[in-house]
Amino acid sequence: MRHNARLRKGTLALATALALTTGGTVAYASEGHSAVKPAPAAHHGNSGDRPHVILSTDMPPVNGIPGGEAGAADQKSDLDDVQTMVRFLAYADDFHVDGLIASSGTFANYANKQNILDVINAYGQVYPNLKLHDANYPTPDSLRAVTKQGRDGTWGQSATNVLGAGKDSEASDYIISVIDNATTPVWFVSGGGPRELGQALWKVQNTRSAAELNTFVSKIRAYFIDDQDGSAAWMRNTFPGLFVITNKCYWGMANTGPYDGTWLKNNVTTGHGALGADYPLSHWTYNDQGVYEGDSPDFLYLLSGTQGLSDLDDPALGGWGGRFQQDAPRQWSCAPEGGAAISRWEDARNQDFANRMDWAVKPYEQANHNPVARLNGHGGDDVVHLRAAAGSTVRLRADGSTDPDGNTLSYRWYQYPTTAGATITGSTSKRAELVLPDVPGTRVDVVLEVTDDGSPGLTSYRRLIVDVR
């Protein structure tokens, strides 16, 4: 993103809680049907649930110049876009990467897919080691094959100027082919301009029947980091059936306190292979060192689904990529807490990222791996749903949670978002109790965090939603 100065709906394990409200007796929630698969190690081997994603980036060259410094226009931009690409590739095993799109960026306002390919080359050097930790990492050649070129000159332009006849690109035509062949939803996540998706939709709108257009739109899930160009608003206004999250609170991703240049040198850029070496220390000026990554929430939102923290079908739940409010039946924007919905996770996500960079250079037995969290007997990463009586108490259990490296686990239970009148006792124990509000019709969201004592410490999640009856 350039500045100026799974839809994977998880199978929901539905249960009915008939916890007693008198006599001091607390009952387990009894499972209605068990549709949840056995728990894989977090982030590992979950190929059936990995979301399909096309990522659009306006990243500059790897050795580009910070936008606030002097230099050639085609080399200048926000270097945090390169930071985002490095982090994305470190998590490429968590996705079906269907496309990497070079959109228009830098001060020269041009698109160059070679910038992406250069980072893929660095990924290729550490790929053999990454595969030791998860067989789902895609091959460098498979990533090169889906890297496509967008049009120049589109950043900041109106929809009228960037969409229409004669404005197709390699990227927009490729997006059409991916969505046409898709049997599950495809996420288009855009830290760069969304123009390429807009042109794909324009072409389908003007060359196919209304029914065919509706089918095409129904397969798309979009997440925009701001609007970038006029095509974003055009898509929201023209296609009310298009699922769109618009994130204008992405600034919650940036942190230059504990995750400054020194932290990056220790955990990412030095001694962590070619991919880590491509991660720029700087952002807008050479002195702005640290984790910025304003575009990263777009794909971090998807990780919240694969890691058990959220359901991609419900942006109001919140996770690493933010929390959102519904503006229209299929449109979402930042919840009132804004960037705090992103920054609240910074410790867990940055420790997890540091660990991924360890994977790039360490053998399996010398690196840490995420614990496997279980909630009331449920494994996997699907949100667990319960029904329970108003004023009752529900047992919360993390029994059966394990760690693949044999590390010691700690536990934390909390509400997110918070419902008035609900309380949790034993919130840092493996076994806790949730006292529900005495208000039928309310909903209580509980997040379980399971963290190991490895180095760096890693956290896995499960989420419980209780419908109060």
- Domain parsing of the chain, residue ranges: 13-41+369-468, 52-359
H or E element at residue 339:
none
pTM of the predicted structure, to 2 decimals: 0.91
Residue 243: closest CA among 160, 179, 148? 179
Residue closest to 317 by CA, chosen among 463, 179, 467, 134 = 463
Residue 163 one-letter amino acid: L
Omega prior to 437 cis, within 30 of 0? no
CA distance 435 to 438: 9
Which residues in 344-458 belong to E strands, given as ranges?
384-388, 393-397, 409-415, 423-425, 431-435, 443-452
Say if strands 393-397 and 431-435 run parallel, antiparallel, or are unpaired.
Answer: antiparallel
Checking if the pLDDT of 47 tops 70, the result is: no
pLDDT tens for each residue of 36-45: 332 334 344 3
Percent of the chain at pLDDT exceeding 90:
85
Confidence check: pLDDT of 17 > 90 = no
- The residue-averaged pLDDT of 256-268 equals 93
**DSSP percent split of the chain into helix, strand, coil, nearest 5:** 30, 25, 45
Pair of tokens at residue 74: 């085609």
User: Mind listing the pLDDT tens digit for each residue in 189-236?
Assistant: 999 889 999 999 999 999 999 999 999 999 999 999 999 999 999 999
What is the homologous superfamily of the domain 13-41+369-468 according to CATH?
Immunoglobulins (2.60.40.10)
Helices marked H in 309-371: 340-343, 346-359
Phi and psi of 142, rounded to 5°?
A: -65, -35
Per the CATH hierarchy, to which homologous superfamily does domain 52-359 belong? Ribonucleoside hydrolase-like (3.90.245.10)
- Measured over the CA atoms of residue 108, residue 114, residue 115 and residue 116, the dihedral's sign is positive
Q: What is the pLDDT of residues 411-449, one digit of tens each?
A: 999 999 999 999 999 999 999 999 999 999 999 999 999
CB 171 within 8 A of CB 196: yes
Q: Judging by DSSP bridges, how do beta strands 255-260 and 290-291 pair with one another?
A: antiparallel
pLDDT for position 256: 65
